[in-house]
Chains A and B, each alone.
Chain A
Amino acid sequence: MSGVLLSIRDVAVDLPTPRGNLRAVDHVDLSLEAGRTLGIVGESGCGKTMLSRAILQLLPKKAKLAGRVMFDGQDLAQLAPEGLRRLRARDLAVVFQDPMTSLNPVLTIGTQLMETIQEHLELDASAAKKRSIELLTAVGIPAPEQRLAQYPHQCSGGMRQRIAIAIALSCEPKLLIADEPTTALDVTIQAQILDLLAREQRRRHMAMIIITHDLGVVAGRADEVAVMYAGRVVERAPTQALFKHMHMPYTEALLAAIPKLDAAPHTPLPAISGRPPDPTRPLKGCSFAPRCRYATNRCHEAKPELKSAEMPDHLYACFHPIQMAEGIGA
């Protein structure tokens, strides 16, 4: 039925900075099957954006990439620029956080949309225009013919994000990477955009990666969730399993720190004190240990590996996982 579409093996991204080497992504393993949604959750600086750039082969020039990114059987790092260009938009599409900057302000929407279509699908102008109108309708933009002649600044934020999604979907990609697609949008528009992405994904049997800092966004919309901290994946599990039986203290702390709508006002929030470690000075032990209330000496000495215990698809990196079933040791 569906095989593994994207396979990330031991990927590391290093960036030279004036303060020393910055390890943005630290040996990450992930895989994604066609038609499934993976949610990558983490706070700023955890490496999730660098990871998405690594997948798209859009890293800054100074960055060094190690490991393999296999897409549809091809090693993306080995592809020639021409092959990579063909892959983009046709098979691999991306939607960024800020629709204001991801659309070209001096080109009309029609130009931007049709440019991509004509480039990759080799359609003539009128066929491309027809397809553009279809796409704009699919993403819920009213009066699509008029929109084609408009410029991005004439549209609202939510509208622009829909257009960005339309551009991303225009060539029927196999994988869509949405990097914080709704962070810059209002909550009512956010819901609409997430619904749109879910609908289009189902319709096109597309794989999707949603990158976000909001656990709420992935809770209802991802099949599997990977939690990142300080460049590593610290927990990975099917969504239900992650929320119901989380094993990483960081995941537990992250969830607890979100203000809940059903809590009474003035309930003190269980905050996580301190800050993530400086990525140019990695710690010897577990990166979360200085902020973890379960930390022991062992945690400061050695880095725990990502592995599973009772459930093969629920992985975590901790010496003292929480919520383990009876009898399963650390």
Chain B
Amino acid sequence: MATLELSLPEEVEQPVRRRRRLGFLFWFAIFWILLVVVLAMFAPILPLQNPVDMDMLERRAWFSSEHWLGTDGLGRDELSRLIFGAGVSLTVGLCAPMIGLTIGGALGLLAGYFRGRFETLVVGSMDVLLAFPPLIFALAIVAYLGQSIPNLTFILGFLGIPAFMRVSRAATLTLARREFVIAAEALGASHARILLRELLPNVFLPLFAFFLLGVAVTIVVEGSLSFLGLGVPPPMASWGSMIGEGRESLEVAPRLAFLPAVAMFVTVLAFNLVGDTLRAITDPRQGAL
């Protein structure tokens, strides 16, 4: 070209394969979650004692070869109740936030993108929902529709929608005015295309990280509801209801409340850890100097 220009090809540096040392804790968390999920899924075909079989002669029994983790206050096998209970806690724990993720996430995305009156409507209704006492809502549903896993899932899912809407809307707001979105508009992309191709892939990750935290929270909340007697109906087990039932035996056999509590604690922790780590490593920006 002119005097000083050499025709050098544009160099592109080789991408660095980031050897992220995902610590021991992360892998333990993954292992635990997988263990719990697999056990819960295959519970019906595993060689376990029947979780609802009461053995009144062996109430609050200590660990034995017949009952590996002993029995509870009504003589039911603790280990199998824990495993079947895991199924309940995880089902509700995963499905309820899913409702929040899809509905809340979509509402937030649309609100943050279209703004204006639609946004005001969405945000306003979410505020109303948030202001409504959640426990009263749960009580009302349970009173009218009865206690069941689907109802419980519905309650918790519905109550989680505003939080997901907030996260999704916040992420969308930061992104919607960025140049790459305007660039897509300048290229003639339709709204649907912009929402699905440009915004959603960027909003999805913070939403998913929030989802995993939501799973953790839901398991605990389900536990609380079951503890209060609003959750799964007996004789079905869930970790929360087991803690509730174990309350009566705290002096004599604290392990009855302790074992499900530990199971819940470790599982929730595992979800939190995985959520945090995933969020950290999938951030595409490498720190600029």
Question: Which residues of A pack against B, CB within 8 Å?
Answer: 15, 17-19, 22, 24, 45, 252-253, 256-257, 268-275, 278-279, 290-291, 293
Contact B1 A15 (CB under 8 A): no
Contact B5 A17 (CB under 8 A): no
- Set B5, B18, B287, B289: member contacting A272, Cβ < 8 A: B5
Mostly, the B contact residues are: loop
Question: Which residues of B pack against A, CB within 8 Å?
Answer: 1-8, 10-11, 13, 16, 18, 286-287, 289
Mostly, the A contact residues are: loop
B289 partner residues in chain A, CB cutoff 8 A: 15, 17, 22, 24, 45, 279
A19 partner residues in chain B, CB cutoff 8 A: 16
Contact A273 B16 (CB under 8 A): no
Contact A18 B1 (CB under 8 A): no
Counting residue pairs across A and B whose Cβ atoms lie within 8 Å, the total is 45
A271 vs chain B, min Cβ distance (A): 5
- Set B2, B11, B18, B287: member contacting A275, Cβ < 8 A: B11
- Set A15, A256, A273, A279: member contacting B7, Cβ < 8 A: A273
| CA gap between A268 and B4 in the complex, in Å | 11
A275 partner residues in chain B, CB cutoff 8 A: 11
A24 vs chain B, min Cβ distance (A): 7
Instruction: State whether A268 and B2 are in contact (beta carbons under 8 Å apart), knowing that A18-B18, A22-B289 are contacts in the complex.
Output: yes
Contact A278 B6 (CB under 8 A): no
Extra pairs beyond A17-B289, A22-B289 (17, CB < 8 Å): A18-B18, A45-B289, A256-B3, A268-B1, A268-B2, A270-B4, A270-B5, A271-B1, A273-B6, A273-B7, A274-B6, A274-B10, A274-B11, A290-B8, A291-B8, A293-B4, A293-B6
B4 partner residues in chain A, CB cutoff 8 A: 252-253, 256-257, 270-272, 293
A252 partner residues in chain B, CB cutoff 8 A: 4
Residue from B2, B4, B11, B287 whose CB has the most chain A CB atoms within 10 Å: B4
A215 vs chain B, min Cβ distance (A): 15
| CA gap between A102 and B16 in the complex, in Å | 34
| CA gap between A15 and B5 in the complex, in Å | 32
B13 partner residues in chain A, CB cutoff 8 A: 278
| CA gap between A196 and B7 in the complex, in Å | 43
| CA gap between A85 and B13 in the complex, in Å | 42
A291 partner residues in chain B, CB cutoff 8 A: 6, 8
- Set B3, B10, B16: member contacting A270, Cβ < 8 A: B3
Q: Which residue of B lies closest to A252 (CB)?
A: B4
Contact B8 A270 (CB under 8 A): no
Contact A271 B5 (CB under 8 A): yes
A273 partner residues in chain B, CB cutoff 8 A: 5-8
